[in-house]
Homo-oligomer: A and B are copies of this chain.
Amino acid sequence: MAELGANARAAAHVLAVTPAVQKRRAIKAAADALEAARETIVAANEKDMAQARAANLNAAMLDRLALDTARIDGMIQGLREVAALDDPVGRILDERTRPNGLRIQRVSVPVGVIGIIYESRPNVTADAGALCVMSGNAAILRCGSESFHSSHAIASCLRSGLKAAELSEDCIQIIPTTDRAAVGILLAMDGDVDIIVPRGGRSLIERVKEGSHIPVLAHLDGICHVYVHGSADPDTARDVTFNAKMRRTGVCGATETLLIDRQAATMLPGILAPLFEAGCEVRGDAEAMALDSRVVAASEVDWDTEYLDAIISVRVVDGLDQAIAHVNSHGSHHTDAILTEDAAAAERFLDEVDSAIVVLNASTQYADGGEFGMGAEIGISNGKLHARGPVGVEQLTTYKYKVFGTGQVRP
Chain A contacts to B: CB under 8 angstroms: 13, 16-17, 96, 98, 102, 104, 111-112, 194-195, 215, 233, 235-236, 239-240, 242-244, 247, 328, 350-352, 354-363, 365-366, 371-373, 383-386, 388-389, 398-410
A403 to chain B, nearest CB (A): 4
Pairs across A and B, CB under 8 Å, 12 listed = A96-B373, A98-B371, A195-B385, A235-B407, A360-B404, A361-B404, A361-B405, A362-B408, A362-B409, A366-B405, A384-B398, A389-B400
CA of A363 to CA of B371 in the docked complex: distance in angstroms?
46
Q: Which residues of B contact A194 (CB under 8 A)?
A: 384-385
Q: Which residue of B lies closest to A406 (CB)?
A: B361
A208 to chain B, nearest CB (A): 13
Contacts A362-B405, A385-B385 known; 11 new A-B pairs at CB < 8 A: A16-B354, A17-B352, A98-B372, A102-B366, A195-B385, A243-B410, A357-B403, A360-B402, A361-B405, A361-B408, A388-B401
CA of A351 to CA of B18 in the docked complex: distance in angstroms?
11
Decide yes or no: A400 and B98 within 8 Å by CB, A247-B410, A409-B247 being known contacts.
Answer: no
Main secondary structure of the interface of A (DSSP, over half): mixed
Decide yes or no: A360 and B401 within 8 Å by CB, A384-B111, A385-B111 being known contacts.
Answer: no
CA of A409 to CA of B408 in the docked complex: distance in angstroms?
57
CA of A402 to CA of B400 in the docked complex: distance in angstroms?
28
Decide yes or no: A233 and B407 within 8 Å by CB, A17-B352, A194-B385, A398-B388 being known contacts.
Answer: yes
A196 to chain B, nearest CB (A): 11
Q: Which residue of B lies closest to A348 (CB)?
A: B17
Decide yes or no: A356 and B389 within 8 Å by CB, A410-B247, A410-B365 being known contacts.
Answer: no
Q: Which residues of B contact A358 (CB under 8 A)?
A: 400-403
Q: Which residue of B lies closest to A362 (CB)?
A: B405
Q: Which residues of B contact A243 (CB under 8 A)?
A: 409-410
Decide yes or no: A112 and B354 within 8 Å by CB, A96-B373, A385-B398, A407-B236 being known contacts.
Answer: yes
Q: Which residue of B lies closest to A350 (CB)?
A: B402
Q: Which residues of B contact A366 (CB under 8 A)?
A: 102, 403, 405, 408, 410
Q: Which residues of B contact A388 (CB under 8 A)?
A: 398-401
- Which of the residues B215, B355, B399 comes within 8 Å of A400, measured between beta carbons? B355
A13 to chain B, nearest CB (A): 7
Q: Which residues of B contact A361 (CB under 8 A)?
A: 404-408
Q: State whether A407 touches B362 (Cβ < 8 A).
A: yes
Q: Which residue of B lies closest to A333 (CB)?
A: B400
A355 to chain B, nearest CB (A): 7
CA of A405 to CA of B237 in the docked complex: distance in angstroms?
12
